[in-house]
Amino acid sequence: MTATLSVQTFGIGQGRVVRAGRPLLTTCGQVHHLFFYLLAAPEGRSRHQLLHDLWDSDDTPAALNRLRVTVHRLKAAFGGLSVVQEIGGHFRLAPEVAAKADVSTFAMHAAAARTAGSVAGRQAALEAAVAHYHGDFLPELSCSWTDQAREQYRQQYVQVLLDLAALHCDGMECSHATHRLAEALKADPFLDESLHRSLISCLAHSGDTSRAVTHYRTLVRFLRDELGDVPMVQTSEVAERVRTSRPVCPHHIGTSAPCPRLARQMPVPPAQDLQTVPALLELLSFSEALLSAATPADAARLAAPLLSARLHASSVVIGTAGPQGQGRTVWHASGGHPSPVADLPLEAAPDYRHPSLETGETGPVGHASACETVPLPGGLLFIRLDRAATAGPWLDVERFFLARATALTGRAVQRLLN
pLDDT of residue 271: 45
Which CATH number belongs to the domain containing residue 74 in this structure?
1.10.10.10
pLDDT of residue 152: 94
Do 354 and 374 touch, CB atoms closer than 8 A? no
Do 212 and 264 touch, CB atoms closer than 8 A? no
pLDDT of residue 191: 92
95-135 pLDDT tens trace = 999 999 999 999 999 999 988 888 889 999 999 999 999 99
255 sits in which H/E element: none
Ranking 102-106, 155-159, 165-169, 252-256 by mean pLDDT, the lowest is: 252-256
Same domain for 90 and 140, yes or no, is no
Structural domain includes residue 365: yes
CA torsion angle for 289, 290, 294, 295 (degrees, to 10)?
140
pLDDT of residue 340: 55
pLDDT of residue 339: 53
Nearest residue to 401 (alpha-carbon basis) of 306, 305, 261: 306
Structural domain includes residue 166: yes
Do 238 and 201 touch, CB atoms closer than 8 A? yes
Q: What is the mean pLDDT of the chain?
A: 84
Same domain for 374 and 272, yes or no, is yes
397-407 pLDDT tens trace = 888 888 889 98
pLDDT above 80 (res 171)? yes
Query: Between residues 129 and 289, which one has the greater pLDDT?
Result: 129
30-58 pLDDT tens trace = 999 999 999 999 899 999 999 999 998 88
Which CATH number belongs to the domain containing residue 135 in this structure?
1.25.40.10
pLDDT above 70 (res 254)? yes
Domain count, the chain: 3
What residues make up the domain containing 12? 5-102
